[in-house]
Amino acid sequence: MGDTFTFPNKITYRCDDGYELATQAASLSCQSDGTWSKRNIICLPAPCLLPGNVSVPHLVVSGRKLTPVGETITLSCPPGFYLQGSALAECQVGGGWAPSISTVSCEVVVCEKPTPLLHGVIEGDSYNYGDLVLYSCLPGFDMKGDAFQTCQADRTWSGTQPVCVASAEHACGPPPIVRHAQFKITEESHLRNVSYLCDTGMQLMGPKTLTCQADGTWSLPAPTCEVARSCDGPVQLLNGRVQDHNLNSGRALEFQCDKGFSLVGDHLVVCLGGNTWSSAFPTCQPKSCPPPPGWRGNASRSVGSPQEFYVGQSLPVSCPKGQKVRGSGSITCRPDQTWTSVGSVCETVCWMPCQNGGVCQRPNACTCQEGWMGRLCEEPICILPCLNGGRCVAPYKCECPAGWTGTRCQTAVCSSPCLNGGRCVRPNRCSCSPGWSGHDCSRKRKSVYYHF
């Protein structure tokens, strides 16, 4: 088609791919009065066809035969399979789906392997959808729960997980009596246990716990309670800790040192009775540390006897010129055998404080935060300069004069908005579209016809 149309020229419209005509007519005619025929031509997105033969095995697609753009269809799997991916797909312009149908799949339902049955047996080694596993208990135990379970569509086993408990006819009688002791019966892992606790001043000799066995008898031997062999011992250890143990052979103390200290002596000391211990109590001695950074030695010490340093030791620090002491003014050897930094004791001095988050890094020299510069970080930075008389007042922020706005004061402000496609080019000044005039482009210019 050309770009000049005369009566009775006619033009025909065609919709883009993915769109279809929504009006009956698809053409307009140039009329004798120089205008086009009054008719709207509308193109709307074409609906998506419901997928037919999908390439994904077992996938079930449900929804409307023609699905409008923006609406969805449902993706699912038959029993015995579960959907891997999105369950909904949305119709897109052009007839496609999002996400694509090919991105989902139907996976076979497989249940987790059943947990082992204590005192029982599990039969069945296939755990797919619909498969069964059978449970049975060993002699002397009864089952509580379901004797079989089925792998379900949600990948879990049906029913209640069974347990095997000791049969009533095989239950043990009362537990053995232990003199000078109290007992407590408990159920652990579906077994009946009895625990013994000796009276004050008595010491347990033998097993603390007996178990009711499948043959209806208690495990042996039974414990006894004997007079405790007392010893007085420390409850605290300097730069360490003490842990008290009651062993079958008697009372024992275990010693451990804090980090940075070494144990000198036996770590375990046993009470032999009569307030006698197997060895002397140990001590915790500080570990040695290397000389601190910049150490020049002590002139008062004799030659050949270097000074030694230990964990926890502190030394005074003299700060270099341009820095001042803060805090205690000393560095300390830490438990990891390293010294605290001199920077934690000495701080740089700036006679005039750094501004806007700046940090004094060298004597009277500030390191500025991003967006600031100057000796004291007092000057903001605008990488792109402010326009039209604007002034940089903060990092990347301009203060604009009256009549201008924007991050760089690049946009003019017109108190009366420019109409009919006009554009504000200067404060309160519009640049009008062809055919319009006036300070706000509201006045239409008159057309002038010349006859030849």
pLDDT, one tens digit per residue, over 185-212 is 877 655 678 898 888 767 788 888 888 8
Q: How many domains does the chain have?
A: 5
H or E stretch covering 442: none
List pLDDT tens digits, range 408-439.
898 888 888 888 888 898 888 888 988 888 88
Indicate if 52 and 104 belong to the same structural domain. yes
Q: Which of 308, 329, 301 is CA-nearest to residue 317?
A: 329
pLDDT of residue 1: 44
Indicate if 52 and 100 belong to the same structural domain. yes
Chain CA centroid to CA 168, Å: 51
The three-state DSSP-derived secondary structure of 155-178 is CCECCCCCEEEECHHHCCCCCCCC
Indicate if 61 and 99 belong to the same structural domain. yes
Indicate if 207 and 250 belong to the same structural domain. no
Indicate if 53 and 93 belong to the same structural domain. yes
Residue 3 lies in a domain: no
Higher pLDDT, 374 or 262: 262
Q: Could you give phi then psi for residue 343, rounded to 5 degrees? A: -65, -20
Q: How far is CA 317 from CA 46, 301, 302, 331, in A?
A: 81, 19, 23, 7
Task: State the Cα–Cα distance between residues 69 and 92, nearest whole angstrom.
Answer: 5
pLDDT of residue 233: 80
pLDDT of residue 122: 92
Higher pLDDT, 328 or 310: 310
Residue 140 belongs to what domain range?
Answer: 120-170
Task: State the Cα–Cα distance between residues 423 and 412, nearest whole angstrom.
Answer: 10
Residue 139 lies in a domain: yes
Which of 81, 108, 135 is the C-terminal boundary of a domain? 108
pLDDT of residue 297: 67
Q: How far is CA 139 from CA 146, 173, 210, 214, in A?
A: 18, 18, 21, 8
Higher pLDDT, 134 or 167: 134
Between 7-11, 209-213, 230-234, 333-337, the lowest mean confidence (pLDDT) is in 230-234
Percent helix, strand, coil in the chain, to 5, is 0, 40, 60
Query: What is the rounded average pLDDT for all residues in the chain?
Result: 84
List pLDDT tens digits, range 395-408.
888 989 988 988 88
Q: Which of 219, 286, 222 is CA-nearest to residue 259?
A: 286
226 close to 199: Cβ distance less than 8 angstroms: no
Q: What mean pLDDT do residues 360-385 have?
A: 85
H or E stretch covering 301: none
Residue 269 lies in a domain: yes
Side chain identity at residue 81, one-letter code: F
Between 92-106, 236-250, 294-308, 354-368, the lowest mean confidence (pLDDT) is in 294-308
- Residue 55 scores a pLDDT above 70: yes
Higher pLDDT, 320 or 99: 99
Indicate if 160 and 199 belong to the same structural domain. no
Report residue 342 as tokens: 């001199």
Indicate if 126 and 87 belong to the same structural domain. no
Residue 256 lies in a domain: yes
pTM: 0.34
Query: How much of the chain exceeds pLDDT 90, in percent?
Result: 15
Domain harbouring 433, CATH code: 2.10.25
Indicate if 97 and 54 belong to the same structural domain. yes
pLDDT of residue 89: 92
- State the DSSP code for 443: E
Which of 60, 84, 108 is the C-terminal boundary of a domain? 108
Higher pLDDT, 52 or 400: 400
Task: State the Cα–Cα distance between residues 352 and 366, nearest whole angstrom.
Answer: 10
pLDDT of residue 244: 86
The band of 88, judged by pLDDT with boundaries at 50, 70 and 90, is very high
Indicate if 124 and 104 belong to the same structural domain. no
Which of 71, 88, 108 is the C-terminal boundary of a domain? 108
Indicate if 244 and 223 belong to the same structural domain. no
pLDDT of residue 443: 87
Query: How deeply is 54 buried, as exposed, middle or buried, from its count of CB atoms within 10 A (0-12, 13-18, 19+)?
Result: middle
Residue 452 lies in a domain: no
Residue 401 lies in a domain: no
Indicate if 103 and 56 belong to the same structural domain. yes
Residue 292 lies in a domain: no
Between 142-151, 247-256, 334-343, 441-450, the lowest mean confidence (pLDDT) is in 441-450
Q: Which residues contact 18 (CB under 8 A, 6 or more apart)?
A: 45, 46, 93, 94, 95
Residue 276 lies in a domain: yes
Q: Which of 162, 172, 179, 214 is CA-nearest to residue 194?
A: 172
Query: How much of the chain exceeds pLDDT 70, in percent?
Result: 92
List pLDDT tens digits, range 255-306.
999 999 999 999 998 887 767 788 889 999 999 999 888 777 665 555 556 7
Indicate if 61 and 104 belong to the same structural domain. yes
Q: What mean pLDDT do residues 38-53 have?
A: 84
37 close to 28: Cβ distance less than 8 angstroms: yes
Domain harbouring 80, CATH code: 2.10.70.10
Q: Give strand pairing partners of 71.
A: none
